[in-house]
A and B are shown apart, each in its own frame.
Chain A
Amino acid sequence: MSTNKIKYVLQLADNALILGHRISEWTGHGPILEQDIAITNTALDHLGQARSLYQYAADLYNKLSTEEKQDFFASPAFINLEQTITEDTLAYLRDAWDFRNSLLVEQPNADWAYTIARSFLYDNYSFLLYSELKKSNDDTLAAIAEKSLKEVQYHLRWSSEWVIRLGDGTEESKARMQEALDERWAYFGELFIASEADKAMLVEGTAPDIESLRSTWDSNVAHVLDEATLTMPAADAWMQTGGKDGNHSEHLGYILAEMQYMQRAYPGMEW
């Protein structure tokens, strides 16, 4: 069985987990009560998607031959691991180099504008991705995509509305929103560059042609930025890459150190 499918599912799952984790860092710190609740809801949605995807990835991994498992993960916790794995094993025991999320989702929250920018760029991507993925010939992925699409539609609406309000707001909000957009712009490109797993899934009819979705993303984003009276950064700007291959920014190390600490210090602990 192709290990590419597992890699593909992990790309999606890791994006959801890391973004969900980043967003959850706002819990209790939101600028205003209603938005604290809103953003916490969003974090829960992402974590829910992550769980479904990790459960699927774990199932697929458990079906691999011993040989295939040997070289799949480089994380020490997975070497000579004998028992079957679960969603938790994937979330808590992999090191950064085995994560396949994009660099975008691991960037810091910084302030509200940066957080909105990150979600806005990502939500536009996941909306297009899930809209196509629900037609997948893989029933599990199609079902996850269909269910997630409703959550994503709301995320996209919420982040777009904030981009517009901050952009077409006060001088300060506009400046901050523009800066956040400019600073995070280099991170979205990676989402539309096909990895080996993306290409393999396209050939199998399981996943859409991710590169072909880029132009729709461009026009959807342009539409909102226009209404927000913000300047859209250059379309051919240089893009950060590496996440899908396990080459992450420094930030992921800190995120995992915090997120995985309890499971690694107290293996198998339960609430």
Chain B
Amino acid sequence: MNNEWPLWEIFIRSKTGLDHKHVGSLHAVDAAMAIENARDVYTRRMEGVSIWAVESKYIHASNPDDAGQLYDPANDKVYRHPTFYDLPIELKHM
């Protein structure tokens, strides 16, 4: 019988970052505690300024065995990439 508190996955966004990155997991009884525990465990070295906590059971992941059928077909469809436009030289950051 499992006596552990629920498991949560923690994502941290760094001060200069745009997205929250997965940094690990921890146990907590509820969302408020998950945030506090994440602050205590995963931000000790100024890793970030924003925390997302998601209970692990709500994360759904793809099956690695399905990688062939899920991702290989995209390999040879070059027309899906936006690389066929002639951009004016003045447009620097497209």
Binding site for B on A (CB under 8 A): 32-35, 37-38, 41, 154, 157-158, 161, 165
CB distance from B81 to the nearest CB of A (A): 44
**Which label, helix, strand, loop or mixed, suits the secondary structure of the A interface?**
helix
Choose among A32, A41, A158, A165 the residue that contacts B44 (Cβ–Cβ < 8 A): A41
Which chain B positions have C-beta within 8 A of A161?
A: 32-33, 36
Which chain B positions have C-beta within 8 A of A154?
A: 39
Which chain A positions have C-beta within 8 A of B33?
A: 161, 165
Asked if A38 meets B36 with Cβ closer than 8 Å, knowing A32-B5, A32-B27, A165-B29, the reply is: yes
Task: Find out whether the CB atom of A34 lies under 8 angstroms from the CB atom of B29.
Answer: no
Choose among B32, B41, B44 the residue that contacts A34 (Cβ–Cβ < 8 A): B41
Report the 7 A-B pairs with minimum CB-CB distance, sorted nearest first.
Answer: A38-B40, A34-B37, A34-B26, A37-B41, A37-B40, A41-B40, A34-B41
A161 to B29, CA, bound (A): 12
A32 to B29, CA, bound (A): 12
Which chain A positions have C-beta within 8 A of B5?
A: 32
A211 to B5, CA, bound (A): 42
Instruction: Please classify how large the interface on chain B is, using the bins under 10, 10 to 19, 20 to 34, 35 or more.
Output: 10 to 19
Closest B residue, CB atoms, query A42: B40
Task: Find out whether the CB atom of A157 lies under 8 angstroms from the CB atom of B40.
Answer: no
Task: Find out whether the CB atom of B29 lies under 8 angstroms from the CB atom of A157.
Answer: no
Which chain A positions have C-beta within 8 A of B54?
A: none
CB distance from B42 to the nearest CB of A (A): 10
Task: Find out whether the CB atom of B41 lies under 8 angstroms from the CB atom of A157.
Answer: no
CB distance from B94 to the nearest CB of A (A): 42
- CB interface residues, B 39-61, toward A, < 8 Å: 39-41, 44
Asked if A38 meets B32 with Cβ closer than 8 Å, knowing A32-B5, A32-B27, the reply is: no
Which chain B positions have C-beta within 8 A of A157?
A: 36
9 A-B residue pairs with Cβ-Cβ distance under 8 Å, sorted by A, are A32-B5, A33-B27, A34-B26, A34-B28, A34-B40, A38-B36, A38-B41, A158-B36, A161-B36
Which chain B positions have C-beta within 8 A of A35?
A: 37
